[in-house]
Structure 1
Amino acid sequence: MKERESVDAEEPRRRFAEECRSGRELYPRKRLNQAELARMLRTSKSTIGRVETCVGPIPPDLPSLLDQVFSTDGLFKRLYEEIVAQSFPAQYRRRVELEREAIVVREWSPTVVPGLLQTADYSRTLLRGGAPRASEEEIKTNVAARLARQDILKRDAPPDLRVVLCETVISRRIGSREIMCEQLSALLTHGAKATTRIQVLPSDAEAHLFIDGAATFLTGSNHVTRVCVEAYRTAATIDEPEHVREALRAYDFLTGEALSARESARLIRGQMEALR
């Protein structure tokens, strides 16, 4: 099974490399070498070489540039999304795939800023703390994969994003003051978007269904909602309608008890000022 998962995970990366090489060699005007393609993409020859030999992470802005140069109608972007989804451990892949297709994302977190809203430095600090023996290359790859998930928020038609954070999330300092300030600033930037609402739940709120763990609600284009929950090295997706309805009622309780988006932004801004 592990060998099969390894093969499946490598397949979109190999195809990305093959399509890049094929597009370069069959370019209509003339066959391009790696240096010429790199100049067109405003990147380096070594980056193209690594992409075509499946070495290291793919720069997140490269797929859309390749689609433009080769007129491939989003092929490289779709392959990149598959690469990102399969870079996660098997138990998390379904959640990432559902996230890519969601039209509404609801998040609750009692501990840290959710991955969809994390800055690179905040994410790096969390990943380093969770894997002290990991190499710098491994941490770099995992940060890139986590940030690549945020591409869904940059689409022309991004999903509606609703986030409720426990007050401890914004008061707990992760990393340096500068890292935490940057993360709080990013929350304010996200919260200012028309499709995003961020609320803070006061730390003295009453007990509720999700008090001891994070939960993500993903609603697809068919308007079916699934609930994703995680714990140490485990993840589960809840599909049963009765349990999903119970979870949604609990989430409605959280949004009702939380501060308004405006009051939450004021609280986040105040926490930023306290760190400076």
Structure 2
Amino acid sequence: MPGQREGDGTAAKAVSDPRREFAEALRDARELRLAGKWTQAQLAREVRTSSSTISRIEGSDFPIPSNLPEIFDQIFETDGRFKDLYERIREQGYVAHAQRRMKLETTAVAIAEWSQTVVPGLLQTPSYARALFRAGKPRAANDEIKALVRARMERQELFQRKSPPDFSAVVCESVIRRNVGGADVMREQLAVLLSHGKRPTSVVQVLPLGASCHALMDAPVSILTTASGTVVVHTEGIRSGSMIEEPGDVRHLSRSYDVVTASALSPDASAELILKVMEAL
């Protein structure tokens, strides 16, 4: 499954260590502040967030808003420590071949996704992601699964930017019909697909099961465009993946994605089908 890591129960500790370090560093910085200890509420006011957000970050059980690490470094004069820990948190839970893709994802101005098997990670709900990770790693400790889900959810912060990337996703009809995690999980997941389809910067389409064969049948594909106009393609298998940058290959895969998009249902027709499947659960 996309985003998994190999290893035994010891991987859970490795995955979650940077988050615990971040939590402890924030608590220490707040309580040992030279100018006087801050309460969580005082720190929250200083960084313009809620005290509950600070509390949950210090409890190691909350996605860290992407703007806060740099602010923490500024107000506590920690010379990039919080930013470095945040990058380690983001990288944990992803196999090596996906780490560069993840970094590009945070700054991409456009992202296009194709998936023939599961809902793309950027659109997954926590429950759906948890079901996938649990199915793919049946012997994993609960803490490891929890950390992997949390890391996947943090990727979705890019949709909360003031200027989010242009985003498009095409999924095979089998994706919306495959019962991952049970009816309740799928209803929630399909509702999220519908909500993304209504965003002004997003397009969600479904490729019907009756569509003819195409060049992207074998693997999911992500096409990322940087602010400089560079386009790279990331493909992923069960335990492997690659970043494709050779211009000819990028053009070929981008063209193949265009063909899939043209063969898919329109956004409105896709939403109608998703709603029909959701209501039948």
Using the size of structure 1 for normalisation, the TM-score is 0.82
Partner secondary structure for residue 255 of structure 1: helix
Superposed CA offset, 1:41-69 (max 9, x none): 23687963x5xxxxxx4511566567778
What are the within-5 Å matches in structure 2 for residues 74-89 of structure 1? 79-89=85-95
Partner secondary structure for residue 169 of structure 2: strand
**For residues 98 and 69 of structure 2, what CA distance do their matches in structure 1 show?**
28
Paired residue for 2:174?
A: 168
**For residues 24 and 88 of structure 2, what CA distance do their matches in structure 1 show?**
13
5+ unaligned residues in a row in structure 1: which ranges? Answer: 1-6, 51-56
Partner secondary structure for residue 42 of structure 1: helix
> Shift in Å at residue 90 of structure 1?
1.8
Superposed CA offset, 1:255-275 (max 9, x none): 111111000000000001111
Partner secondary structure for residue 62 of structure 2: coil
> Which structure's relative contact order is higher, taking Cα pairs within 8 Å and 6+ residues apart?
2
Paired residue for 1:4?
A: none
> Shift in Å at residue 188 of structure 1?
0.4
> Shift in Å at residue 232 of structure 1?
2.1
Matched, 1:59 2:62: yes
Question: Which residue of 231, 237, 249 corresponds with 1:243?
Answer: 249
> Shift in Å at residue 235 of structure 1?
1.3
> Shift in Å at residue 31 of structure 1?
2.0
Superposed CA offset, 1:142-191 (max 9, x none): 00000100001111111010100111111111111010000000100111
Matched, 1:254 2:260: yes
Q: Contact (CA 8 Å) 2:187, 2:278: kept in 1 or not?
A: yes
5+ unaligned residues in a row in structure 2: which ranges? Answer: 1-13
The code of the aligned residue for 2:137 comes to A
What are the within-5 Å matches in structure 2 for residues 91-170 of structure 1? 91-170=97-176
Question: Which residue of 17, 22, 29 corresponds with 2:29?
Answer: 22
Q: Contact (CA 8 Å) 1:103, 1:159: kept in 2 or not?
A: yes
- Please list every run of at least 4 consecutive aligned residues from structure 1 whose deviation after the TM superposition is greater than 4 angstroms: 9-17, 33-40, 43-47, 61-73, 75-79
Partner secondary structure for residue 228 of structure 2: coil
Q: Contact (CA 8 Å) 2:92, 2:151: kept in 1 or not?
A: no
The code of the aligned residue for 1:60 comes to P
Q: Contact (CA 8 Å) 1:23, 1:70: kept in 2 or not?
A: no
**For residues 176 and 218 of structure 2, what CA distance do their matches in structure 1 show?**
17
The code of the aligned residue for 2:108 comes to A
**For residues 51 and 67 of structure 2, what CA distance do their matches in structure 1 show?**
10
Q: Contact (CA 8 Å) 2:56, 2:62: kept in 1 or not?
A: no
Q: Contact (CA 8 Å) 2:173, 2:207: kept in 1 or not?
A: yes
**For residues 194 and 35 of structure 1, what CA distance do their matches in structure 2 show?**
35
Paired residue for 1:54?
A: none
Q: What root-mean-square deviation, in Å, do the aligned CA atoms of Structure 1 and Structure 2 show? A: 3.2
Percent sequence identity is 39
Distance 1:173 1:96, change over 3 A: same
- Number of matched pairs: 260
Paired residue for 1:263?
A: 269
Using the size of structure 2 for normalisation, the TM-score is 0.81
The code of the aligned residue for 1:180 comes to M
Distance 1:236 1:259, change over 3 A: same
Question: Which residue of 204, 212, 217 corresponds with 1:211?
Answer: 217
**For residues 264 and 167 of structure 1, what CA distance do their matches in structure 2 show?**
9
**For residues 200 and 20 of structure 2, what CA distance do their matches in structure 1 show?**
35
